[in-house]
Structure 1
Amino acid sequence: MLRRLSLLGVLTAVTMLGTWSAASPPGRAADGLDASKFELTKSAYSPLVDDLDSALPNVSVSTVIRDTDRSAHRCVPQAAELVAAFCWNEEDSSTQAWYPQAITTTADANSRGTYAGSTVILASWYDADDDGIDKGVRLTFVDWSDPSAPTYRHTLLVEPYTRADGKVSFRPIRLHAGGMFWYGHHLYLADTWNGFRVFDLRHIWRVATGDPTSIGLQPDGTYQAHGLSYVVPQVFTYTQSTTGGALPIRFSAVSLDRTSTPHSLVVPEYGYPGGGTRLVRFPLDRAGRLLATSADGKSHGIEAYDVSVTSMQGAASIRGKFYLSTSDGTANQGDLATYGPGGAVQMHYDTLPIGPEDVSYWPGRDQLWSLTEHPNHRSVFAIRPSAY
């Protein structure tokens, strides 16, 4: 179990842990793939958002941050090159009802690294359906403005829809939620077999609380969200397709690359031993904070590799070099893999905590953020990628 530490203790422990890593000899070279065979097509913006805007109070990200209701604490997960970390409160650290998966920050949202004046970390959790009610995906807003005393609040991701009686409601997003990135006002969430669900952070609705079993419009005219106070709506999707016999991508995670020109996103595939695992890059349009499209109206991949790295949980690209988080069960530390196109995959064993997931790069701070999923081994942490 991770220990609480004072700030001095954290800095001392970081210094002690931050210089150790174990690297293997260079591995196999990755195989280049025809990236243009991978496509994504955008849907229309949901018109139901306006209906729910009229029915519910629409609040800002700043309002949610001012209304955080849980306290995190400083801790020291076992990771090489550790530079920052915190742990959830006791309930969230141990619960088997929700499992953390994806991470993004205000450094993804814009070049300033803040959003409406706040420094924020977002984390996704999927519901394990332990009580027979699949609540979908919750989104946690962490106020990281004071790293010595982070606070946070859980919200729920929802999909607006029209019920059979013609009334507009919303329902849970039932996904693994293995990766996400924040770009402008949009939050992109990986949809494992389909592509992306996209949410608009200009629309956060305050709902009634008190009934953890209910979701959406209720008979009394109120809206509920399984006991949570805020919901964030899905506004459009990107659906994948392939050409030329390419197998569909498994959208296991995603990260934003602000070091590329143009900005781009990187999708890694989770895979088991003996199977190929791919990395695919898609270009982004900075003006609209959308995927860049070709003349056919689709977004096409611009870089792809079969890296054959087992159990990839996250991938980030920093100035052309890939950093891959990999897991190794519930009792073993995770590993970091690095790959530069034209070179070989390099494994850095036991350099990440147990159960690492998605990753997100913070330009300007030399920080690669991640989080871990297993109960009583949970943390949110950053390492120094330049050390690799």
Structure 2
Amino acid sequence: MKHRGRHRRRRRGRALRATLAGTALALTAAATLISTSQAAGGDNPGGLTRVTAAAETAKFRLHEDLTDRSALDTLTRATGGGVGVHDVLASADRVMRNRPECDAAETAALPVKPSASRAYCWDQEDATTAQWLPRSVTTSGDADDHGRWGGDRVILSGWTHNDGDLAEPVSDQGLARVAFVDANDPANLSYRWALLVAPRAGGRDFTAVRTGMSGMVWFQDKLYVTDRDSLLVFDLRRILRANMDSPVIGRTEGGYSAHGYQFVLPEVGSYRLTGGPCSMADDRAVPCFSALSLDRTSTPPSLVAGEWFRPGSTGSPARVWRYAFSTLPGHRGLLATDTHGDVRADEAYRTDATGVQGVLSYRRGGAARPDWYVDRAPTAGGRHGTLWRQNTSGAKAAVCSADESHACWGRHTASLSYWQGTGELWTLTEGATSGDTAQGAAGAAGGRVLYAVPLHSVDDALE
């Protein structure tokens, strides 16, 4: 009897060990599947969750601070008078390459599905520099519902200095510039740079504006740029010309210099988050601005914003939200404020998508609520990103390979801008220098491309 009992105990022991081994294998396989899914652009973020609690929506509140008009007028007179967008375009000194002229790394950065309807690559010097990072895009399709500024079709691209390059001088850190792209002839794009500056000394001088420029929107005559815990505002009717060519930024003996740039765009105001320092680690804290776009399908038009959390981070749903533009006389292109100069978010949502590089809101005719398009960076380096269309019911993205990968969007994309007149969604790729983070890192440049995809093609490609 004891002998048979020992055999039964051994058989039970072997069965238990086999069961545990099988469970371990299953768990390992599941973990591998999850990891593969995430690396392949899976990990569906699901539907948006509305943020309604007053304590939460208060964290999006802004306060308006406009630059003294007399200081702006003084600076304009001191620099010889303002110039227009057309003047900057007419002096374009760099030519963009059409898609057939782009190299292999640049074409490889284009989306897999849907395919780009138009694609351009930068002048070779800008395409390969490790000193600067392309971060944002907006167009004259945002500025005016006719799609032109004056008689020109224009694309603006915001670039920030790559502070990860330790060989660069401290004085260059954080510098921000905008490419004014002449898009009148789709087959021949050219551009000119303008440096972002801020008036000082009552308008008798100016200094550099230092910002990451991860989001940018052109509405009417105002240009909005993200600066972590605030939005900086510039006036496209107040572009100024530097008359000295030196590394200095501001007033010099004999005139004004802008680090070698011929044109400067002075800051005319800002909107700062009122809740204190923002956090890029806590989705319940004051958000840090990352993505920015314009929604012309809302009434009135609205400014759409999003925050950044590292791709694959857990427990930190990103938030997306909007502010209405003012309809009051004398407040052209500015946000709607209350009697205290505060701006409140019209609506806000949480998305389980992390690594949000771009956000767009679009309401189709008759729809109760808009769809939100979220450009999500991959969790694995070197892969394509994913463009999700989200609403409160769920999320969808294109599938572009046999393993059902959603990694179909561009590689290292940043910023989204919808040109309503043409129905095109514009974006750009930061290139290999950017890595997979919103902040950028030093390294070899390459793979930078500006491209457009019809929004209906994005919807047609959804799973």
Under a length normalisation based on structure 2, what TM-score does the superposition of the two structures give? 0.74
In structure 2, what is the equivalent of residue 31 of structure 1? 49
Deviations along 1:30-49, one digit per CA (max 9) or x if unpaired, are: 22112742211111333321
Contact 1:330 1:354 in 2 (8 A): no
Contact 2:41 2:385 in 1 (8 A): no
Counterparts of 1:260 and 1:154, CA distance in 2: 32
Contact 1:25 1:346 in 2 (8 A): no
Contact 1:330 1:355 in 2 (8 A): no
In structure 2, what is the equivalent of residue 176 of structure 1? 212
Residue 238 of structure 2 is aligned to residue 203 of structure 1: yes
Question: Structure 2 counterpart of 1:255, which letter?
Answer: S
Q: Quote the offset at 1:155 in angstroms.
A: 0.8
In structure 1, what is the equivalent of residue 83 of structure 2? 59
Identity of aligned residues (%): 32
Contact 1:209 1:226 in 2 (8 A): no
Counterparts of 2:345 and 2:388, CA distance in 1: 22
Question: Structure 2 counterpart of 1:276, which letter?
Answer: P
Counterparts of 1:312 and 1:259, CA distance in 2: 22
In structure 2, what is the equivalent of residue 78 of structure 1? 110
In structure 2, what is the equivalent of residue 49 of structure 1? 72
Contact 2:132 2:159 in 1 (8 A): yes
> Which structure is larger by alpha-carbon Rg, 1 or 2?
2
Deviations along 1:170-189, one digit per CA (max 9) or x if unpaired, are: 11111111001011110011
Question: Structure 2 counterpart of 1:139, which letter?
Answer: V
Secondary structure in structure 2 of the residue aligned to 1:280: strand
Superposed CA RMSD: 2.1
Question: Of the candidates 213, 219, 232, which is equivalent to residue 265 of structure 2?
Answer: 232
Report 1:217-228 matches (<5 A): 217-218=251-252, 220-228=253-261
Structure 1 residues 262 and 362: CA distance shift in structure 2, 3 A = same
Report 1:298-309 matches (<5 A): 298-309=342-353
Deviations along 1:44-68, one digit per CA (max 9) or x if unpaired, are: 3333211111111311111001110
Question: Of the candidates 342, 345, 349, which is equivalent to residue 395 of structure 2?
Answer: 345
The alignment covers a number of residue pairs equal to 359
Q: Which structure has greater helix proportion?
A: 2
Counterparts of 2:381 and 2:446, CA distance in 1: 11
Residue 271 of structure 2 is aligned to residue 271 of structure 1: no
Contact 1:36 1:302 in 2 (8 A): no
Secondary structure in structure 1 of the residue aligned to 2:323: strand
Report 1:147-162 matches (<5 A): 147-162=186-201
In structure 1, what is the equivalent of residue 299 of structure 2? 261
Structure 1 residues 51 and 296: CA distance shift in structure 2, 3 A = closer
In structure 2, what is the equivalent of residue 5 of structure 1? none
Deviations along 1:68-114, one digit per CA (max 9) or x if unpaired, are: 00000112552122221111011111100110101100001011100
Counterparts of 2:346 and 2:97, CA distance in 1: 41
Deviations along 1:116-168, one digit per CA (max 9) or x if unpaired, are: 11000000100124421326101110001111110001110101111xxx882
Q: Which structure has greater strand proportion?
A: 1
Q: Quote the offset at 1:28 in angstroms.
A: 2.6
Under a length normalisation based on structure 1, what TM-score does the superposition of the two structures give? 0.87
Question: Structure 1 counterpart of 2:95, which letter?
Answer: S
Counterparts of 2:269 and 2:321, CA distance in 1: 21
Q: Quote the offset at 1:303 in angstroms.
A: 1.1
Counterparts of 1:55 and 1:217, CA distance in 2: 10
Deviations along 1:247-290, one digit per CA (max 9) or x if unpaired, are: 21210021010011121111111102112210011111245221
Question: Structure 2 counterpart of 1:203, which letter?
Answer: R
More off after superposition, 71-80 vs 265-274:
71-80
Counterparts of 1:242 and 1:283, CA distance in 2: 19
Contact 2:45 2:352 in 1 (8 A): no
Secondary structure in structure 1 of the residue aligned to 2:407: strand
Contact 2:233 2:267 in 1 (8 A): yes
Question: Of the candidates 327, 332, 338, which is equivalent to residue 377 of structure 2?
Answer: 327
Question: Structure 1 counterpart of 2:384, which letter?
Answer: Q
More off after superposition, 374-383 vs 40-49:
40-49
Residue 401 of structure 2 is aligned to residue 367 of structure 1: no
Structure 1 residues 85 and 298: CA distance shift in structure 2, 3 A = same
Deviations along 1:279-327, one digit per CA (max 9) or x if unpaired, are: 0111112452211123543211111111021110110111111111122
Secondary structure in structure 2 of the residue aligned to 1:337: strand
Q: Quote the offset at 1:345 in angstroms.
A: 2.8
Question: Structure 1 counterpart of 2:71, which letter?
Answer: L
Counterparts of 2:373 and 2:129, CA distance in 1: 29
Counterparts of 2:417 and 2:290, CA distance in 1: 14
Q: Quote the offset at 1:347 in angstroms.
A: 4.0
Contact 1:106 1:121 in 2 (8 A): yes
In structure 1, what is the equivalent of residue 358 of structure 2? 314
In structure 1, what is the equivalent of residue 401 of structure 2? none
More off after superposition, 246-255 vs 181-190:
246-255
Secondary structure in structure 2 of the residue aligned to 1:291: coil
Question: Structure 1 counterpart of 2:159, which letter?
Answer: W
Contact 2:135 2:157 in 1 (8 A): yes
